[in-house]
A and B are shown apart, each in its own frame.
Chain A
Amino acid sequence: MKAEKINELYFGDVDHPVTTYDRRDFLKRLGGGIIIIMSFSELSFLTGCKTKQDEERPDFNAYLHIKEDGSVDCLTGKIEMGQGVITSLAQELADELEVPFKSVNMVMGDTDLCPYDAGTWGSLTTRFEGPVIRAAGAEAREILIGLAAKELGVSEKQLEASEGEVFDKNDKSKKISYADLTKGQRIVQQLKKAPELKKSKDFDIIGKSVISTDAVDKVTGKAVFSGDIKLPGMVYATIVRPRVWGSKKLSVDASGLDDFEGAELVEDGDLVAVVHPDPEVASKAAQKVNVEWDAPESKADNETIFKYFVDNITESEVNEEGGMLSSGREACETIVEAEYHDGYKAHSPVEPHTATCYFEGDKLTMWASTQTPFGTREALAETFSMPKEKVHLKQNFLGGGFGGKIYNPQAIEAARIAKLSGKPVQLAYTRREEFFNDYFRPAAVVRSASGVDSEGKLKLWEFDIYCAGSRGTGLSYLYDIPNNRTRTFNKGDIHPFSTGAWRAPGNNTTTFARESQIDATAHAAGIDPLEFRLNNITNPEMKATLELAAETFNWNKEKPEGHGYGISLGWDAGTYVAMIAEVKVDKATGEVQPIRVVCAQNMGQVVNPHGAKVQTEGGITMGLGYALTEEMEFDWGRVITRNFDSYHFTKFSMTPEIESVFADNMDAAPQGGGEPAIICVGGAIANAVFDACGARVNRQPITPERILAALG
């Protein structure tokens, strides 16, 4: 699948059904016990990196293995990066299978042990994987009860499973453990039909708050990240980078390396690196390698990029259309037109991209900070024209991803260097490289026109999106506006550097623009923004979610001097979100202090309420950064932002009081939780700032300078 195709998926709404693929024999190497294999959805089969499309795939992408000692392994190609699925998936499995939570061992993202998976992104795991894992757990339980019936000589109906044992309901002393039942068995079954799932009232573990299972390893320093691996004879690599992204190498002068004993130059096309057994020597020596680069000409910088987009992208696609724009305009008493800008944002996980690897014979083994171990494996296999079975990505922890670790240039670079140097290699990006090489959240422009009639009803909606995609913009989830048109303007190579998926791709930008526009329209019509929204929403879920937020926040309560309230609504990954923020603005300096954020979500079934709350808080905290402080500075490919002293994301003092509330929907299917909350932060803050001081800032981040400028 091509990178553009992937990005199309990331930036669009993800809602695909399950399909099956041709079978491959993966299970040969597993020992005895009961094995249930399962597939999640078509999306799990997509490749995270560019690869041949016609490749055969196994028809399952996770399996559950109840081993002969009664312990349970659940293997999936998904990875854990702080979003908590290592815990919530184990909860779901333990509950349906009727085993103690602690007896489930999650094995994730190891390409030799786990079946293929396209990668961990798009808030897909809980939505598509959770239900399947539950079904597999339920099916295994049914099989075990069947075995127990034979063993105990009682009918299945009379048996019940609990805590890893099957017992006779009438005579609890008549029982047999899962371990005894699986001993000597070899049952492999593919999950096809949906077995009887537990109802929410019978849940023992689902819906209970569970602390992350990996917390102890993380507080003791035992959790292993890819840069914590040290191999015998390993060298550390430093890559000599150009100053300008997209430069081509002209010449290399490595004579400076003579001063560094043991330093070796590795050169392969535009890749120029120095390796040394000591990381600091490698880095110092690399500074002495002089490379002459041919840099591309500058076409725009962080201030002029918006005009550059509008001038250079003329082709558009209509994503949604209804009624007639001209009659819509006529029906309106008030029309608001505005343009919104959003700068490039970096993912900036605290752990930079890292890879440690070695070749042994014809096999490549790697630990990498990747959200797409299987895609990375395929990209590596393609780079070296080797069969992908010969590439092994090992399981390790990730220090955050947020979409940025879908892309793994460091893995390819590390392996190329290892191949050429003939030694095990670790390549850990410096913070500066992390900023330079990021697949940034694209800068974007939204142009909008909206109008209301004399009744305060929205009659007109025009929404032109440059470079942010259409994910989450569907009006049927949001507002009822009879005359509307949403268009997207995209051009693949328009950006000065790489861009990609950033937590809820595109939706942060478009939600900011839409909710600012709605707010501005409400104010222009002289209507309270809450009342205005409620009056223009017919979708019952959206309406209920907004009502829940307003009630939790207490919208009508009195505002202290200098404080303002702002609302934002959104829809992402199947989840409805309504957010209300309270901020305090210092009119003299333009400083904004977030005070309180209430976030109501209808995400269907909530598997781990504690985990969902953590994800929501994390999303809101991260969102405050893009709303208020985060922006890349650049002059075309010359990335000026290099470290955290010039790229500011949310710190302790900026974090407000956060209250997350969830609609009670325990028998519904679970929806996305990792991304939705973050989309509303920009709009809620922008509207709260306006409410506090009258400054309408149409550009993210909403900095003190921009607030002062808007105040005039």
Chain B
Amino acid sequence: MKQNVSFNLNGKPVEVEVNGDESLLTVIRTYLDHTGTKYGCGMGHCGSCTILIDKEPVRSCMMYAEDVAGKEITTIEGLAKGEELHPVQKAFVEHDALQCGYCTPGMIMNATGLLLKKPDMTREEIIEGMEENLCRCGSYMRIIDAIQTAGKEMKGGM
């Protein structure tokens, strides 16, 4: 049954027609053409589809569009302010915390969500919070460093 769902995407109101049973990941990537968010497993295991819903990191492959009606969604495309990268993006570049870059949007969104709650995470807390985001290229060590760097910058409040 077709229905319309409205929410805010990266600060802009959007209305989208959905069937009702498709994943939010499909809605974002295919209907709304925000392809920065990636499919990795479709079952909630890898985290490449992570976005923020009202600042909470969430796996979009496990959500329906109707779950987000009226909410504020942030995807990787919505982090930078124009040319000015978000501190987490900046830190990922600075530490080269990526290789193929496919897991990167999900890593950054999950890290951003964690840092918004607690900018001064310990290494152990970072590992725990990031544990279910998978990177086959093995960039984990540099991702941890990048999150620590970004946390320092975000401490002052975002």
User: What residues of chain A have their CB less than 8 Å away from a CB belonging to chain B?
Assistant: 81-84, 211-212, 214-225, 227-228, 230, 236, 278-281, 284, 348-352, 397-402, 428, 430-431, 610, 614, 617-622, 643-645, 649-653, 655, 658
Whether B96 contacts A351 by the Cβ 8 Å rule is: no
Whether B98 contacts A212 by the Cβ 8 Å rule is: yes
Whether A653 contacts B127 by the Cβ 8 Å rule is: yes
Q: Which residue of B100, B126, B142 contacts A82 across the interface (Cβ within 8 Å)?
A: B100
Task: Give complex CA distance A487, B21 in Å.
Answer: 56
B10 CB, min distance to chain A CBs, angstroms: 11
The residue of chain B having its C-beta at the shortest distance from the C-beta of A616 within the complex is B138
**8 examples of A-B residue contacts, CB within 8 angstroms:** A214-B101, A221-B105, A350-B135, A397-B100, A431-B40, A618-B99, A644-B41, A645-B43
In the complex, chain A residues whose CB is within 8 Å of the CB of B46: 350, 644
Q: Which residue of B89, B134, B143 contacts A644 across the interface (Cβ within 8 Å)?
A: B134
Cβ of B16 within 8 Å of any chain A Cβ, yes or no, is no
In the complex, chain B residues whose CB is within 8 Å of the CB of A645: 43, 45
Whether A221 contacts B35 by the Cβ 8 Å rule is: yes
In the complex, chain B residues whose CB is within 8 Å of the CB of A655: 138, 140-141
In the complex, chain A residues whose CB is within 8 Å of the CB of B138: 617-622, 650, 655
Q: Which residue of A84, A216, A280, A397 contacts B93 across the interface (Cβ within 8 Å)?
A: A216
Q: Which residue of B19, B23, B98 contacts A281 across the interface (Cβ within 8 Å)?
A: B19
Q: Which of B70-99 contact A (CB under 8 A)?
A: 75-77, 79-80, 85, 89, 92-94, 96, 98-99
Whether A617 contacts B38 by the Cβ 8 Å rule is: no
Whether B130 contacts A614 by the Cβ 8 Å rule is: no
Where chain B touches its partner, the secondary structure class is loop
Task: Give complex CA distance A571, B21 in Å.
Answer: 52
Whether B37 contacts A350 by the Cβ 8 Å rule is: no
Known: A220-B77, A350-B135, A617-B141. A400 touches B102 (CB 8 A): yes
Task: Give complex CA distance A221, B128 in Å.
Answer: 25
Q: Which residue of A278, A284, A350, A401 contacts B103 across the interface (Cβ within 8 Å)?
A: A350
Q: Which residue of A212, A284, A643, A652 contacts B96 across the interface (Cβ within 8 Å)?
A: A212
In the complex, chain B residues whose CB is within 8 Å of the CB of A281: 19
Cβ of B60 within 8 Å of any chain A Cβ, yes or no, is no
Whether B140 contacts A280 by the Cβ 8 Å rule is: no
- By Cβ-Cβ distance, the 7 closest A-B pairs, closest first, are A221-B36, A621-B138, A399-B102, A82-B100, A218-B101, A82-B99, A618-B138
Cβ of B117 within 8 Å of any chain A Cβ, yes or no, is no
Whether B35 contacts A622 by the Cβ 8 Å rule is: no
Whether A430 contacts B42 by the Cβ 8 Å rule is: yes
Task: Give complex CA distance A227, B128 in Å.
Answer: 30
Given contact pairs A219-B101, A645-B45, enumerate 10 new A-B contacts (beta carbons under 8 Å).
Answer: A212-B99, A218-B104, A278-B26, A350-B100, A350-B103, A351-B102, A399-B38, A614-B139, A618-B139, A655-B140
Task: Give complex CA distance A159, B74 in Å.
Answer: 55
In the complex, chain B residues whose CB is within 8 Å of the CB of A351: 38, 40, 100, 102
In the complex, chain A residues whose CB is within 8 Å of the CB of B142: 614, 617
The residue of chain B having its C-beta at the shortest distance from the C-beta of A216 within the complex is B93
Whether B39 contacts A227 by the Cβ 8 Å rule is: yes
Task: Give complex CA distance A400, B19 in Å.
Answer: 33
Whether A278 contacts B19 by the Cβ 8 Å rule is: yes
Cβ of B115 within 8 Å of any chain A Cβ, yes or no, is no
Whether A221 contacts B136 by the Cβ 8 Å rule is: no
A640 CB, min distance to chain B CBs, angstroms: 15
Q: Which residue of B26, B96, B135 contacts A211 across the interface (Cβ within 8 Å)?
A: B96
Whether B131 contacts A221 by the Cβ 8 Å rule is: no
Whether A649 contacts B136 by the Cβ 8 Å rule is: yes
Task: Give complex CA distance A706, B146 in Å.
Answer: 36
Whether A397 contacts B101 by the Cβ 8 Å rule is: yes
Q: Which residue of B37, B40, B43 contacts A221 across the interface (Cβ within 8 Å)?
A: B37
Task: Give complex CA distance A248, B19 in Å.
Answer: 35
* Chain B CB within 10 Å, residue with most, of A82, A211, A218, A219: A219
In the complex, chain A residues whose CB is within 8 Å of the CB of B128: 653
Whether A280 contacts B23 by the Cβ 8 Å rule is: yes
The residue of chain B having its C-beta at the shortest distance from the C-beta of A210 within the complex is B96
A596 CB, min distance to chain B CBs, angstroms: 12
The residue of chain B having its C-beta at the shortest distance from the C-beta of A280 within the complex is B22
Whether A280 contacts B99 by the Cβ 8 Å rule is: no
Task: Give complex CA distance A618, B98 in Å.
Answer: 10
A445 CB, min distance to chain B CBs, angstroms: 27
Task: Give complex CA distance A653, B140 in Å.
Answer: 9
Q: Which residue of A84, A236, A652 contacts B99 across the interface (Cβ within 8 Å)?
A: A84
Known: A221-B105, A279-B26. A431 touches B43 (CB 8 A): yes
